[in-house]
Amino acid sequence: MHLSLMNRVQVMLLGFVLLGRSLEEKARIRASSDMNELLALMSTQSRLVITSSDSNSPTENVLCSDAICTEVPTDDVRVGDTVLVLPGESIPVDGRVLAGRSVVDESMLTGESLPVFKEEGLKVSAGTINWDGPLRIEALSTGSNSTISRIIRMVEDAQGSEAPIQRLADSIAGPFVYSVMTISAATFAFWYYIGSHVFPDVLLNDIAGLDGDPLLLSLKLSVDVLVVSCPCALGLATPTAILVGTSLGAKQGLLIRGGDVLERLASISYVALDKTGTLTEGKPTVSAVASISYEESEILQMAFAVEKTASHPIAKAIVDKAESLKLTIPVTRGQLTEPGFGTLAEVDGCLVAVGSLDWVNERFRIKTKLSDLKDLETKVMYQSSEGMSSSNYSKTVVYVGREGEGIIGAIAISDCLRHDAESTVNRLQQKGINTILLSGDREEAVATIANKVGIESEFINASMTPQQKSEVISSLQAEGHRVAMVGDGINDAPSLALADVGIAIQNEAQENAASDVASIILLGNRLAQVVDALDLSRATMNKVYQNLSWAIAYNVVAIPIAAGALLPQYDFAMTPSLSGGLMALSSIFVVSNSLLLQLHRSETESNR
């Protein structure tokens, strides 16, 4: 009889444990469903376009008359190959549109629901969906180098990294196992040698068998303690929530580089913002050119020569303006760029510097008169303000200096304020986070933008070098604050690396030094995603704390009951099968609670 009963208990125990493991595995598969969706976006086949080497297809024609299309595996496509993508198909490679006009759904990469218009010269990313018309695309990166492959690889790395709180849980789980084994042994010893004699009525309970055997009672209670205890719940509490959080972030266009990043971001008290390319669109244009003694076109031509190979948005604005006027490049050599200050090069045998006023002025022995500099600035700012709302634009003045003459001209650069800049700063402040502005631009331009978005004057820092930006962040950290830095350019890279959390706004899916060192990359190129990332981190950490609280509370309550704490007074004792069921249920609860994070919706998404 005892043997039959024990066999039934063993079968039920194994059944509950296996059922729990099965449900837990299904829940974990659901937790990684967002990553599976990203993997499904990768097209396995591409339509390769083959043309004769001397064929020049007009851009208005998607395919030339002698073109041949053939289906090939996407892995066989090489950089420089041309592929054709028809409406409704997934774009197989990162590339540049050579011909065709269409709209592309990039929501799976950027989180932006509205389709994006694409035409000749614009870039597209692998995994996005072509909607309207056929596109002929030149492959720029393929396979593991494509944007979506890098995203998947980085998210997988993030999911494999441990948050500090996970290490705490792991450090508890180790001693916990030995403690449970000790409690189990103590339970057996107590009930066999003491409890069954002090409380003889407990032998009438079914757990003691028909004969009221104290050995059977002690064995079952000690086994109950071993079975009901659940270190698995402690071990799963953090990684399951991190798994869901990082996957959900990737789906929203937030590339998060690890669980430790989510934990640090959730406790941020300061957010430092760059101006150019962060609060502004990062697409500056030349709005005015002024000169002391040269023609305006000559000033622009010299600046064009110096900035031709520079990567800063202001340099690009100067180059674009010069190219639109079809200006020629003088003989130039020896370019030298000092991030945050300016660029220097030899143009037609003379050194020419383009950059901030003080930096350019210090490059040359001959100094321009202060009155001439003031007149120059007044002139260029007046010209740039004509027909333009000053409150919605950031105006930056870069100066052009020439060897033997000093400063000879100035160029006004205008950049439009991001449409979500003011609302983002306001939302951060409502959450109790202080916002500070760190910019290398002149004080007047920085103050105008800061006032527009609602940053207080005490938190405005202008005319700062990259080193000075880092010093501000270091001083805040020394005061015990957690600081996040938001930037987009190479001059922001030191601050992004130093901050507790570096957040890079990635423009046009291009990687730069900022993206390389940042903890979080905003693939959607929207400042509002900073708040989305903060909300996601807090929601994820809330789940972690809920899971840990449950795991600890469960063991604190379940282990004493399994050890027979209720047996003398209430005649209640667990069976091994019930203990196994509760243990499995505890793990399932932790994983299922983490899955509820998939219901999290960002404020930006909810307001659409």
Burial 422-447 (b: 16+ CB within 10 A, else e): bbbbebbeeeebbbbbbbbbbeebbb
- The rounded distance, in Å, linking the Cα atoms of 235 and 548 is 9
The torsion region of residue 387 among left (phi > 0), alpha (psi -120 to 50) and beta comes to: left
Cβ atoms of 491 and 275 within 8 Å: the answer is no
DSSP code of 209?
A: T
What are the two backbone dihedrals, phi and then psi, of residue 14, each rounded to the nearest 5 degrees?
-65, -40
Q: Which helix (H) or strand (E) holds 569?
A: helix 567-570
**At 36, which amino acid appears?**
N
Active site residue 274: yes
Cβ atoms of 243 and 31 within 8 Å: the answer is yes
- The rounded distance, in Å, linking the Cα atoms of 5 and 1 is 6
- The rounded distance, in Å, linking the Cα atoms of 16 and 22 is 10
- The rounded distance, in Å, linking the Cα atoms of 197 and 192 is 8
- The rounded distance, in Å, linking the Cα atoms of 578 and 572 is 12
Tokens 């002929």 belong to which residue?
136
Tokens 């990162």 belong to which residue?
94
CA angle 122, 355, 329 (to 5 degrees): 60
What are the two backbone dihedrals, phi and then psi, of residue 123, each rounded to the nearest 5 degrees?
-95, 150
Name the catalytic one among 274, 415, 500, 532. Answer: 274
| DSSP per-residue letters across 257-294 | --HHHHHHHHT--EEEE-IIIIIB-S--EEEEEEESSS
**Structure tokens, 404:** 């033997």
- The rounded distance, in Å, linking the Cα atoms of 195 and 217 is 10
Burial 533-550 (b: 16+ CB within 10 A, else e): bbbbbbbbbebbebbbeb
Q: CB count, 10 Å around CB of 465?
A: 17
Strands (E), 367-439: 393-402, 406-416, 434-438
| Cβ-based neighbours of 591, under 8 Å, separated by 6 or more | 24, 27, 28, 31, 236, 240
3-state SS assignment for residue 399:
strand
**At 522, which amino acid appears?**
L
| Cβ-based neighbours of 229, under 8 Å, separated by 6 or more | 176, 180, 555, 558, 559, 562, 583
Q: In what order do the strands lie in the sheet with 82-85?
A: 68-73, 45-50, 82-85, 135-141, 94-99, 123-124
Cβ atoms of 83 and 50 within 8 Å: the answer is no
Active site residues: 274
